[in-house]
Structure 1
Amino acid sequence: MTSEDVLNEFRAAHALREGHFVLSSGLHSPVFLQKNLVFMDGARCARLCQALAEKIVATVGPVDVAISPAVGGIIPGYETAKHLKVRSMYVEREDGAFKLRRGFHIAPGEKVVMVEDIVTTGLSSRECIAAIREAGGDVVAAACIVDRSGGRADVGVPLIALATLDVPAYPADSLPPELAALPVEDPGSRRLAK
């Protein structure tokens, strides 16, 4: 599956949006990927995650477990794990830091792939990877459906992306005039202050 194939899945789901958006990272962008419109279609989600699983195996070989950050990574993490034929777990925040909870456990030496939905800055991926390592996992790679950093996000391990986009993202105090002129849309990525 090519990057264009992945984007066509987003387009078919009306999930590739243009305007002025605040991303979950807090950065502003003229492009928003409404991933939940993609993931709510089981067949579409399966196609993308099967392709991601195949790319993971082709890049790093077999893994033992897939772990994702909650909440956004749970669906693609589960579906990718299903195609990898491995266990699926997720980390969630406890006192502000990601942790494995709910009885999830990694055996010493297990090879872990961290699976995300979309990577922008790589911050949540790095936090997730740190939690996995703290729990004893050997993180051999990170994987995502879309890397919207153009390949610039550093997550500390090899990042396997099904699609790579070079989409600009700006701090609120550094918006280009054409983006600043547009009203901020609230697609649910980050709740806007009222």
Structure 2
Amino acid sequence: MSDVVSILEECGALLTGHFLLSSGKHSSQYFQCARLLQFPDRAAEVISSITEKISADKNISQADSVIGPAMGGIIVAYELGRQLGKPAFFTERDDEGKMTLRRGFEIAPGEKIIIAEDVVTTGKSALETAERIKDMGGEVVASVCIVDRRPESAENPFPWPLFSAVRIPAVLFDPDDCPLCREGKLPPVKPGSRKVF
């Protein structure tokens, strides 16, 4: 774990400050994994720790493919697929904001799939992606992420296993009860790629 944290810090992927998350909550910490993923060798090193965990599970290592929700999951899925020797593709949001498969990507009935993301806090993107997979007759066998940010007391939000390179529980605040806002810190910034609804 400390090696993964060190790599995230070295790449500038672990940010501290006052952040507005896509859930609407505030946090003093943010993981911008795109800063890790810009370095293919470092990203491969971090993702290899996930590959080892998956390879140790006979059922999950037999998955047929890897899907990453855009944006954060695209490179993670590609690298995980490369390391596992599996096809990798991605879902993306349509004009109505619904996660969907496009670009000619297809899922065969019964296809066993791993969902790959950069960060999991609530699991929203993975759950939306899982719905599309299920609609097309596929089966999700696991989720993976670089950083598992679920709060300390949170249970796995998925009915399948979740593997991560590192678990660092999020420090979350409701906007109406945010100590950073009360202390008069700068307004929260939104560094992520998803719209706040």
TM over 0.5: yes
Cα distance between partner residues in 1 of 2:110 and 2:10: 41
CA shift for structure 1 position 50? 2.1
How well do the aligned residues superpose, as a CA RMSD in angstroms? 2.1
Cα distance between partner residues in 1 of 2:162 and 2:106: 23
8 Å contact from structure 1 (residues 55, 162) kept in 2 = no
Cα distance between partner residues in 1 of 2:127 and 2:177: 25
Question: How many aligned positions are there?
Answer: 190
Q: Secondary structure at the match of 2:24?
A: coil
Aligned counterparts, 1:12-27, within 5 A? 12-27=10-25
| Pairing 1:33–2:31 present | yes
8 Å contact from structure 1 (residues 92, 99) kept in 2 = yes
Deviates more, 1:18-27 or 1:5-14: 18-27
CA shift for structure 1 position 180? 3.8
TM-score (norm 2): 0.88
- String of CA shifts for 1:37-87, please: whole Å, max 9, x gaps: 111011111111222222222233321100010111101111111101100
8 Å contact from structure 1 (residues 23, 190) kept in 2 = no
Aligned counterparts, 1:126-145, within 5 A? 126-145=127-146
CA shift for structure 1 position 124? 1.4
Cα gap change, 1:180/1:125 in structure 2, threshold over 3 Å: closer, same or farther?
A: farther
Deviates more, 1:40-49 or 1:181-190: 181-190
CA shift for structure 1 position 192? 9.6
Deviates more, 1:165-174 or 1:133-142: 165-174
Deviates more, 1:107-116 or 1:150-159: 150-159
| Pairing 1:68–2:71 present | no
8 Å contact from structure 1 (residues 56, 143) kept in 2 = no
CA shift for structure 1 position 135? 1.7
8 Å contact from structure 1 (residues 146, 164) kept in 2 = yes
Aligned counterparts, 1:40-79, within 5 A? 40-59=38-57, 60-79=60-79
Cα gap change, 1:188/1:117 in structure 2, threshold over 3 Å: closer, same or farther?
A: same
Partner residue in 1 for 2:111: 110
Deviates more, 1:182-191 or 1:136-145: 182-191
Of the three residues 146, 153, 168, the one matched with 1:165 is: 168
Cα distance between partner residues in 2 of 1:123 and 1:192: 13
Identical positions, percent: 36
Unaligned runs of 5+ in 1: none
Partner residue in 2 for 1:156: 159
TM-score (norm 1): 0.89
Cα gap change, 1:72/1:192 in structure 2, threshold over 3 Å: closer, same or farther?
A: closer
8 Å contact from structure 1 (residues 30, 179) kept in 2 = no
8 Å contact from structure 2 (residues 21, 190) kept in 1 = no
Write the letter of the residue equivalent to 1:132: I
Cα distance between partner residues in 1 of 2:116 and 2:103: 19
Partner residue in 1 for 2:8: 10
CA shift for structure 1 position 18? 1.3
Cα gap change, 1:126/1:192 in structure 2, threshold over 3 Å: closer, same or farther?
A: closer
Cα gap change, 1:171/1:135 in structure 2, threshold over 3 Å: closer, same or farther?
A: farther
Unaligned runs of 5+ in 2: none
